[in-house]
Structure formats: structure tokens, C-alpha cells
Amino acid sequence: MRFKFPIIIIDEDFRSENTSGLGIRSLVQPIEDEGMEVLGVTSYGDLTSFVQQQSRASCFILSIDDEEFSDDRAEDTLAQLRAFVGELRHRNQYIPIFLYGETRTSSHIPNDILRELHGFIHMFEDTPEFIARYVVREAKAYIRALPPPFFRALVDYAADGSYSWHCPGHSGGVAFLKSPVGHMFHQFFGENMLRADVCSSVEELGQLLDHTGPVAESEANAARIFHADHLFFVTNGTSTSNKIVWNSTVVPGDVVIVDRNCHKSVLHSIIMTGAIPVFLMPTRNNYGIIGPIPRSEFDWENIQKKIAANPFITDKNAKPRLLTITQSTYDGVMYNVEEIKQELDGKIDGLLFDEAWLPHASFHDFYGDFHAMGQDRQRCKESLVFSTQSTHKLLAGISQASQILVQDAENYSLDKELFNEAYLMHTSTSPQYSIIASCDVAAAMMEPPGGTALVQESIAEAMEFRRAMRNVDEAWGEDWWFKVWGPDELAEEGMGPYEDWTLRANERWHGFGNLADGFNMLDPIKATILTPGLDVDGQFAEVGIPACILTKYLSEHGIVVEKTGLYSFFIMFTIGITKGRWNTLVTELQQFKDCYDTNMQLWRCMPEFLENNRRYEGMGLRDLCHQIHQMYAQYNIARLTTDMYMSDLTPAMRPGDAWSKMAHREVDRVPIEELEGRITAMLVTPYPPGIPLLIPGERFNKTCVEYLRFASHFNERFPGFETYIHGLVKEVKDGKTHYSIDCVRE
Ligand SMILES: *Cc1c(COP(=O)(O)O)cnc(C)c1O
């Protein structure tokens, strides 16, 4: 397999017709003869963006020839060189750097630069051919050392060209070539993707299910990079990672302590294991943003009280098997992990931090102790600590790439054999090898210093974005503009200290009330953008811009956001962020403002939407916003959803038992109007926010019913903006729509 990584030469004479130019260009042909490409440029240009070229280069040759160093620019040239080499090493510890001079020698270069170099080329002493071989050897060695174990083995295997008799049946893609549409598929995904799609009978790649060979080496490599004692790649998402951890330790009747704001995979885990959940309740503000579980909820006395009050727990002294916390909520709120460990070590057997949104945190000091595992962390004495991370959400993993990290306790280590039994319960015997490779590569990419630089960059861009939004706001003066949710203080430049991002009691911006100082932090790379119309107290303004309209508008203009709330939407600054992307968002928001302010006709500003939703024919953008805004205000929807999520929901049976009723069809399909007091057999989850509202076995209360009534009215009135509620069954009978939910037959 030949990879393209050119050797980059930076020399201001690269294109000149002088001896210096001739000299440097004489290197090009011999290098190309050795099978490498050359890219010649004449200046460092914009340093930061140029340094980013390091990711596609195999080597740099930097000229320090006579003129630049002899005349009055010498100081500048040296400073530039130092800055360039510094920036380069900030991201890449290993890429070879050569200096190239005609008469100058290393004695003219200060030591702090020299020590970063791989060699010094004297053009007129050696032949170009000799120099080329020397440079190419270093460049190739560097490239060869790049791939981590599993990816390397997979590339070798795919390039090897052996005939396979094993699955998958498409035989390296050949089957696709026998049909026209198959041909299209082949052309679209490319040969390598299909050649690398192999099955577990290929021995030299190792086994994911047994953690052997190159897979095991890569898992060990990732464990080292992420500071875990054990690390397991998972090829079907953190949904599965969570279930594996649960199944490894929880059995029917076990007590578990669970964040009420948890991903549905955790609720599925509760159902599947037959556990008895005791929920910790998070705060919530009236924007609809889920806040942290208050520090006091974690107090052991508090948890004991909850256990005592739970009607299904017979042994009140039973030790809870597992705690599961959403570490970094969707909106970016994180907990101080060391504080939780201190409080609960030995009281609960395992502490699981669901870090689906937080795999980047251990690569930057900025995140302090606000993530589960990192360098020099204390172990618990008794409790195992788990973290599950969606590599694909914030790092460079492809969909479903995920991993489980484990930190042993001082007195107790993970039983790997036992754990792997649970792993096998959830893992396909035909794992997708490109996902394994992407777990491997995503980890290797994060190895410092490169990974740290990547995280730094995404934080820095997120800060720039926040400042840019504030500048626009200032420029508009009294006129309306969007706000980015976050602390009032924002560093004027750079990142500022992390303390700026910790949550303090009763600050108005967060609206989560009386929190313990410093127990929580907001991750700045998660940006919730607030639209006008609703304040943090849940008060509706005269006019407003429901976020669902704005995000429809944005998607029609090529910007797809991560999540839409009532008056907020959410974007993330992952390591894939570019200046172009967020600047485009800012300009599109300006365009939207224009359209709104002039009440532009929908056929002009949202033609695609109108095409599919003729009901809005003839309306302007502002009119539409106003209609939806009024309906939200009429139902007081911000308060309603907050009340609904904060209301005391009484469990009538264990979640697993409710599911048993469902599986055996001992359920009734109950219309919304008759739901109050009934026990749901379904998980009921409104989108947004995608947080389960009711768990199988819980009774509907008045607020839940009121919310469902609102949702069905809203969906009738505003087609195209439907609130989707998982668990709500929609049926059309006699031309009328009916909504109902499956409830346990009592
Ligand atoms: C997305 C998510 C998951 C599931 O991750 P997948 O990789 O999509 O399966 C688990 N927990 C939380 C908190 C999530 O947001």
C-alpha cells in the first residue's frame, strides 16, 4: 500500500533562477526517483495554517541559505524558523525536519532549534542523490511508524491480495461488480473499504471477541493513551458498551443508582438485567436544558434514604451494584469525578461514567478532574470505575466506534474473564473491522502532543465563536440577536482558566439554582444557542423565534445542527471543526435575522420546506414564528416540560416486570385522555430533548398527560414541525389521528 505524504520544502528561492534556486531544485528529481513526492513552497505563510500541513507531510526541509541569514533580516528569519519548528513540535513530535544550507552550518543555529532536527543538509558537499536517499529514508521510516497495530495489520492484509474463501460473501467487493447497482456501491465506497471488510477467520488480525493479536495490542495501546487499566473496543456504540458493563455486574433484583437523565441504553440495561433502579434527580432550567444532579443527591445518607423509601427493595442494607451517571450531559455539564469517587468508594461496587460526549477530556488540563480517567488519578480503594465513550461522537471514529475504560481499585481488580462473558453477550460474532480500525486510529491520533493540540484547537475555536457572537450582539445594540448559553465572564482572548466554566450557586445564567460551588463545569466546546422569546425563568416574551423554525431554515441552507430544543439549538466544536464552518453559521444567522425582520415570504427564504408543507402558503417567516410562539406560550410549555420532568413519578412495578407484561401482550392501548394513573409498559421519550420521561412500570401523572395533549394538538396544527415522542402510537382511523400508549393491564 502506497500512501501519499509529500516531502515539503520551504525555501524562498524555490522558484528563483539563481544558484540557490537551482541548488534546492536539484533535490527534487532524486527524491521523486526514490518514489516520494515533493511540494515546494516559498514562505511559511500563515504559520498556524501552514503547520497544519504536517498531517499530510512526511518530512520538512527548511532552507536557511545565505541571504536570508546574512542581511538585516537574520533576526527575523531565525525567529520565524523558531516559531515554525515550535508550532510543528507542538503538534507532532516525530515528523523529520531537516535544515538546508549552502555555506551556513549548524553553528549558526541556536541549540533550542537544533535539538528538534533530524539532520542538516549541505548542498554542495554531497550529491543530490545521496541527500535524497538520506532524507527519503527518514521520511519513510516516519510514515512506517505511524499506523497503530490493528490498522497496520488490516492495511497489510487488504493490500496482500490473497483470495479469500471466508465470509463476507462479497469476497473483497467482487460480488458487487456483477450487478449495475452493486457497481455503483463499489465505486462509491471504494475498493479498500471492501477489501478491508473481512471476518474473524483471518488469523493475522487477531480476534476482537477474545482480545488477541493486533486487536489486543491496539486495545493496550489505547489503554495507555487514555490512562485506563483496561480498555475494550466496542463496535456497536456506547449503547452496547453500557449494556456490557451492566450485564457484567448487575443481575435481577440488584439495586442500582441511576441518573434520571440517562441515555435510553441505560434504561434498556435496567430492563434487561431486571435491576431495581433508584434515581438521582438532575436539575433543569426553563430553557429546557438539563442541569447537573446536585451534590447533595450523591450524599450516601441521601442514597440510603431513597433505598429505604423504595417499595421494591426488600433488603434495605443491600449494597448497590452500580452507579451510572451521564458524565457530560448532552448540553455539556460535567461532574468532578474525584469528589464522587470519594463519596461513594466502597459503598457501591462499580461507578460507571457514561462519557459518550467526553472522550476528548483526558487530553487537556483544562478539564481537570471533570472526567473519569486521566494521568495520575487516584484509585478507589474498593470500587471499580468504568467509563464508556463514543469515539465516534467527538473523536475521529466512524459511527458506532466506542470503548469501555476500566480503572481497578486498590483492593480489587477487574476479572477480565468474567467481564468478557458479558462482552460476548452483546457483541456480534462478525464485527465490522473498519470500526475496530477507527477505534485504533482515533486513539493513536489523540496521543500527546498531537491530541492535546487538537483538543486545544477545538476549545480555542469554540471560544472564538462565542466571542464572535457577542461582538455581533454588541453591534446590533438594542436590536435582538442570539445568545450562546454559558457563563457571563468570557476571556477576552485565548481560553481563560477553567474556573471560568465551573458552575456556582444561584448564578442566573445557568438557572439551576443552589448548586455546590465548583462541583460542576460546562464544557465550552458544547454550544447551546438561545433564540429570543423565552427567558431562563420560563417567561415568554411578546414575540419569539421557536428554534424548530430556525433549524429548518439552517438545514435548508446547508447547516445541520445536532439537536433542537424549544428556544435553543445545539452545536459542537469537535476536533473536526473548521473556522469556515462556524463562520458560515454566524453569517447564516445574520441572514435569518434579515429574513425574520422583513417577514420574508416563506417561498423565498424556505422554498423546500414550503414545497413539502403547502399549508403555510402565503406566510412570512415572522408570521410563522409568531404562530408557533403563541401556541408555546398558551400552553406555558417551558414550565410544563420542566414540571413534567421534575415531577415525582411513582414506580408501580419494576421496569423489567413491566416489560414482561409488554412482551406477553398483557397490555392495553390507552388513548391520551385516559392515561392518567395508568402504568406505562413503554419507555416514553419526547424529542427534543430525547430524555426518557417515563420508564416502564411508572404511572402517568397529570403533567405528563397534559404534555402529551399539547404534543398531539401541536402536531395537528403544525405539520412539518411535529414533536416526535417515542412510545406514543399514532393511528389513523376514519380519517382522524389517534394517539395512544401501551399500558400494563391491571
Ligand atoms: C449517544 C449516547 C450513548 C450511546 O452511544 P452510541 O455510540 O450512539 O451507541 C450513550 N450515552 C449517552 C449519554 C449518549 O449521549
Per-residue pLDDT reduced to its tens digit, 438-453: 999 999 999 999 999 9
Determine contact, residues 230/414, Cβ cutoff 8 Å: yes
Q: What per-residue confidence (pLDDT) applies to 646?
A: 83
Which atom from ligand 1 is nearest to the alpha carbon of 262? 13
* pLDDT score of 206 more than 70: yes
Which atom from ligand 1 is nearest to the alpha carbon of 402? 7
Which atom from ligand 1 is nearest to the alpha carbon of 399? 7
Which atom from ligand 1 is nearest to the alpha carbon of 392? 7
Cα 264 to ligand 1 centroid, rounded to whole Å: 8
- How confident is the model over 354-383, as a mean pLDDT? 95
Q: State if residue 239 touches ligand 1 by the CB under 6 angstroms criterion.
A: yes
Mutate to test the pocket of ligand 1, among 391, 392, 393, 403 (most ligand atoms within 8 A of CB): 393
Q: State if residue 426 touches ligand 1 by the CB under 6 angstroms criterion.
A: no
Determine contact, residues 525/571, Cβ cutoff 8 Å: no
Residue-range domains of the chain with CATH: 7-145 (3.40.50.2300), 167-200 (no CATH), 206-447 (3.40.640.10), 456-634 (3.90.1150.10), 648-744 (3.90.100.10)
Strands 333-335, 384-389: parallel, antiparallel or unpaired by DSSP?
unpaired
Lowest mean pLDDT among 18-32, 60-74, 394-408, 558-572: 60-74
Lowest mean pLDDT among 33-37, 95-99, 391-395, 639-643: 639-643
Q: Distance between terminal CA atoms of the chain?
A: 65
Lowest mean pLDDT among 192-201, 470-479, 615-624, 653-662: 192-201
Q: State if residue 510 touches ligand 1 by the CB under 6 angstroms criterion.
A: no
Categorize the per-residue pLDDT at 200 as very low, low, confident or very high, splitting at 50, 70 and 90: confident
Mutate to test the pocket of ligand 1, among 235, 239, 268 (most ligand atoms within 8 A of CB): 239
**What separation in angstroms does the CA of 119 have from each of 60, 62, 494?**
11, 11, 35
- How confident is the model over 593-610, as a mean pLDDT? 96
Cis-peptide, bond into residue 449, ω within 30° of zero: yes
Q: State if residue 402 touches ligand 1 by the CB under 6 angstroms criterion.
A: yes
Q: What per-residue confidence (pLDDT) applies to 18?
A: 86
The per-residue pLDDT of the chain, averaged, comes to 92
* pLDDT score of 418 more than 90: yes
CA-closest residue to ligand 1 atom 2: 356
CA-closest residue to ligand 1 atom 1: 356
Lowest mean pLDDT among 55-59, 380-384, 574-578: 574-578
Lowest mean pLDDT among 49-53, 69-73, 205-209, 672-676: 69-73
Categorize the per-residue pLDDT at 490 as very low, low, confident or very high, splitting at 50, 70 and 90: very high
SS3 letters across 561-587: CCEECCCEEEEECCCCCCHHHHHHHHH
Cα 430 to ligand 1 centroid, rounded to whole Å: 22
* pLDDT score of 481 more than 90: yes
In terms of pTM, does the model score above 0.75? Answer: yes
Strands 119-122, 97-101: parallel, antiparallel or unpaired by DSSP?
parallel
* pLDDT score of 164 more than 70: no
Q: Is the dihedral of CA 351, 354, 360, 366 positive or negative?
A: negative
SS3 letters across 592-610: HHHHHHCCCEHHHHCHHHH
Q: State if residue 364 touches ligand 1 by the CB under 6 angstroms criterion.
A: no
Residue identified by cell 553553528 is 107
Q: What per-residue confidence (pLDDT) applies to 68?
A: 60
- How confident is the model over 203-220, as a mean pLDDT? 95
Q: What per-residue confidence (pLDDT) applies to 550?
A: 97
Determine contact, residues 323/348, Cβ cutoff 8 Å: yes
Mutate to test the pocket of ligand 1, among 233, 235, 238 (most ligand atoms within 8 A of CB): 238
- How confident is the model over 247-272, as a mean pLDDT? 96
- How confident is the model over 565-572, as a mean pLDDT? 92
Q: What per-residue confidence (pLDDT) applies to 484?
A: 97
Q: What per-residue confidence (pLDDT) applies to 158?
A: 85
**What separation in angstroms does the CA of 384 have from each of 225, 259, 337, 420?**
19, 18, 13, 16
Phi, psi of 540 (to 5 degrees): -90, 135
Q: State if residue 566 touches ligand 1 by the CB under 6 angstroms criterion.
A: no
* pLDDT score of 563 more than 90: no
Which atom from ligand 1 is nearest to the alpha carbon of 390? 7
- How confident is the model over 443-465, as a mean pLDDT? 94
Q: State if residue 326 touches ligand 1 by the CB under 6 angstroms criterion.
A: yes
Q: What per-residue confidence (pLDDT) applies to 327?
A: 95
Q: What per-residue confidence (pLDDT) applies to 244?
A: 98
Cα 390 to ligand 1 centroid, rounded to whole Å: 6
Q: What per-residue confidence (pLDDT) applies to 100?
A: 87
Cα 414 to ligand 1 centroid, rounded to whole Å: 23
* pLDDT score of 242 more than 90: yes
Determine contact, residues 683/696, Cβ cutoff 8 Å: yes
List, for residues 115-135, the tens digit of each pLDDT value: 888 888 887 778 899 999 999
Categorize the per-residue pLDDT at 165 as very low, low, confident or very high, splitting at 50, 70 and 90: low
List, for residues 17-64, the tens digit of each pLDDT value: 988 888 889 999 999 999 999 999 888 776 667 777 888 999 999 988
Could you tell me which residues come within 8 angstroms of residue 703 by beta carbon, excluding any fewer than 6 positions away? 640, 643, 644, 647
Categorize the per-residue pLDDT at 602 as very low, low, confident or very high, splitting at 50, 70 and 90: very high
* pLDDT score of 185 more than 90: yes
List, for residues 274-283, the tens digit of each pLDDT value: 999 999 999 9
Determine contact, residues 484/530, Cβ cutoff 8 Å: yes
Q: Does residue 304 or residue 118 have the better pLDDT?
A: 304
Determine contact, residues 744/667, Cβ cutoff 8 Å: yes
Q: What per-residue confidence (pLDDT) applies to 322?
A: 98
